[in-house]
Amino acid sequence: MDSILSLAETSGFLHITPGLVCMWCIGLILIFLAIKKGYEPLLLLPIGFGIIVANLPLAGLMTPEEGLIWRFYHYGIQWEIIPPLIFLGLGALTDFGPLLSYPSLIFLGAGAQVGVYITFFTAFWLLGFDLQEAATIGIIGGADGPTTIFLASKLSPHLLGSCAVAAYSYMALVPIIQPPVMKLMTSKNERMIRMKKKKKLVGSEKLLFPIAALFLIILLIPASAPLISMFMLGNLFRESKVVERLTKASKNELMNIITIFLGLSVGATMNADNFLKKEVIFIFAFGLLAFMISTASGILLAKLMNIFLKNKINPLLGAAGVSAVPMAARVVHKVASDEDKKNYLLMYAMGPNVAGVIGTVIAAGVFLTFLK
Amino acid sequence: MNKSGHYPNILSFKHRELQMEEALKVFFAGIGGVFVGMTLLYIAILLIIKGSAWSKSRKESQ
């Protein structure tokens, strides 16, 4: 009888709390959204699973120095390994051709970052988050998961899980969040503007760009080096066309393996104690606000550019300046083609979309420079 | 709300004021930094395009 009682005491059943059950439900909801609705399944599925296993009583998977997932988290995220490796894969997947063919669109990638800073300031000023927390919330507006995780792990590790889930959820919801903002900010005539034909590239531009960008960005914002260096290395693999195996490994095998560890680790940081708080609701609300302001600020910058440009650009392209690649570019194309079926904006929108990735990394680098 | 989960009280008002200055600094440096970075990249792209076109025309003329 004693042995049965002691077995019962060491089992997890007696340690189940309402908070843990609530976290299991959140994990199951994310898994449901990933499987049934297809919302960012590559990340939300392992994140949901990570939440569940990290909140199983006495399992100890996130026990410091001992737990299995704690080791993934510690060596992968705290040691800054996983986010830069994700950027290596992203670099290998990125084609800078559309940006190089229409260089002025690069500014739209900067315009969308204004939302990041407005949200940062608002979260600090209105809600009383400290500067590091406000920066982590603001960067959600960049719609870039790995950058959000990278910044959160350095500035506010206690917000990592909620900010990462907010960032990936809003990236999945781009087709729902962006169109109303885009329609509100533009007239029908503006949405129907057709772009002038792009410049043709002669050959070596795509090879030279990652090298030039590497020097310029890291010299300007040294704190962005881990992400930008890996991003440009991946892109150099791709454009050099002499290391096909490395390109494939970066964008396929390595990216897939890293994604498993990233999702699990991020999910496992969300325990009942640090997630079931009022401030998490603010994080989700302000993350959404950041994303909407980023969309609007990109469009406003495109309109401002039109005052000075001889060949007008379609202001919807400004919405692609957030870095949800390629979803934001697809949404821009869809909204434009709803007005004019022959208006093909997809390849033009890819320009500000990849510029947005660079812009978000620079924005994160500035936060790190001042706040770390 | 601070890291320990408490709202700042009136005693921390001065500290908050200093943080406000810091926040404004980060705000303007951030927006400025992103636009300066993009302007540098824009100039680099224009130079790369010009250089590539010049190199191609030189090869063709040879």
Contact A366 B53 (CB under 8 A): no
> Is residue B7's pLDDT more than 70?
no
Interface subset of A 296-355, CB within 8 angstroms of B: 355
Query: For tokens 């410091």, what's the residue?
Result: A64
Spatial separation of the C-alpha atoms in residues A180 and B9, rounded to whole Å: 40
Alpha helices per DSSP H over A221-316: 225-240, 244-248, 255-268, 272-275, 278-308
Which residues on chain B are in Cβ contact (under 8 Å) with A124? Answer: 19-20, 23
Spatial separation of the C-alpha atoms in residues A156 and A149, rounded to whole Å: 10
From the list A351, A359, A357, the residue with the least C-alpha distance to A333 is: A351
How does residue B18 score in pLDDT terms, banded at 50, 70 and 90? confident
Which residues on chain B are in Cβ contact (under 8 Å) with A370? Answer: 22, 25-26, 29
**C-beta of residue A52 within 8 angstroms of C-beta of residue A24:** yes
Question: What is the Cβ-side half-sphere exposure of residue B1, based on CA atoms within 13 angstroms?
Answer: 15
Spatial separation of the C-alpha atoms in residues A309 and A203, rounded to whole Å: 27
Q: CB-based contact (8 Å) between B55 and chain A?
A: yes
SS3 state at A229: helix
Closest CA in chain A for residue B9: A128
> Is residue B15's pLDDT more than 90?
no
Percent above pLDDT 70 for chain B: 79
Contact B5 A277 (CB under 8 A): yes
Q: Between A131, A221, A366, which is nearest B22 by CB?
A: A131
pLDDT tens figures, A70-121: 999 999 999 999 999 999 999 999 999 999 999 999 999 999 899 999 999 9
Contact A220 B36 (CB under 8 A): yes
Q: CB-based contact (8 Å) between A204 and chain B?
A: yes
Tokens of A15: 């340690």
pLDDT tens figures, A118-130: 999 999 998 889 9
How far off is chain A from B55, nearest CA to CA, in Å?
10
> Is residue B9's pLDDT more than 70?
no
> Is residue A227's pLDDT more than 60?
yes
Question: What is the Cβ-side half-sphere exposure of residue A361, based on CA atoms within 13 angstroms?
Answer: 30
A 10 A CB-CB count for A301 gives 23
Per-residue pLDDT at A109:
95
Spatial separation of the C-alpha atoms in residues A337 and B21, rounded to whole Å: 45
Report the mean per-residue pLDDT for chain A. 93
How far off is chain B from A225, nearest CA to CA, in Å?
14
Higher-pLDDT residue of A169 and A231 is: A231
Spatial separation of the C-alpha atoms in residues A52 and A92, rounded to whole Å: 33
Per-residue pLDDT at B16:
78
From the list A262, A286, A266, A295, the residue with the least C-alpha distance to A136 is: A286
Tokens of A168: 């990936």
**C-beta of residue A158 within 8 angstroms of C-beta of residue A130:** no
Tokens of B41: 């990249």
**C-beta of residue A360 within 8 angstroms of C-beta of residue A142:** yes
Tokens of A45: 């599925």
pLDDT tens figures, A292-330: 999 999 999 999 999 999 889 999 999 999 988 899 999
CB neighbours of A266 closer than 8 A, spacing ≥ 6?
A43, A47, A50, A77, A149, A160, A161, A164, A165
Q: Between B3, B26, B37, which is nearest A367 by CB?
A: B26
Which residues on chain A are in Cβ contact (under 8 Å) with B34? Answer: 110, 113, 359, 362-363, 366
> Is residue B2's pLDDT more than 60?
no
Question: Which sign does the torsion angle of CA A18, A19, A20, A25 carry?
Answer: positive
From the list A35, A52, A34, the residue with the least C-alpha distance to A44 is: A34
Spatial separation of the C-alpha atoms in residues A270 and A5, rounded to whole Å: 31
**C-beta of residue A361 within 8 angstroms of C-beta of residue B41:** no
How far off is chain B from A47, nearest CA to CA, in Å?
24
Closest CA in chain B for residue A208: B48
pLDDT tens figures, A271-281: 888 888 888 99
How does residue B60 score in pLDDT terms, banded at 50, 70 and 90? confident
**C-beta of residue A307 within 8 angstroms of C-beta of residue A295:** no
Spatial separation of the C-alpha atoms in residues A15 and A20, rounded to whole Å: 9
CB neighbours of A342 closer than 8 A, spacing ≥ 6?
none
Buried b (16+ CB within 10 A) or exposed e, A180-202: ebbeebbeeebbebebeeeeebe
Per-residue pLDDT at A179:
96
Q: Across residues A59-68, what is the average pLDDT? A: 93
Interface subset of A 177-196, CB within 8 angstroms of B: none
Spatial separation of the C-alpha atoms in residues A287 and A173, rounded to whole Å: 12
**Which ipTM did the prediction report?**
0.90
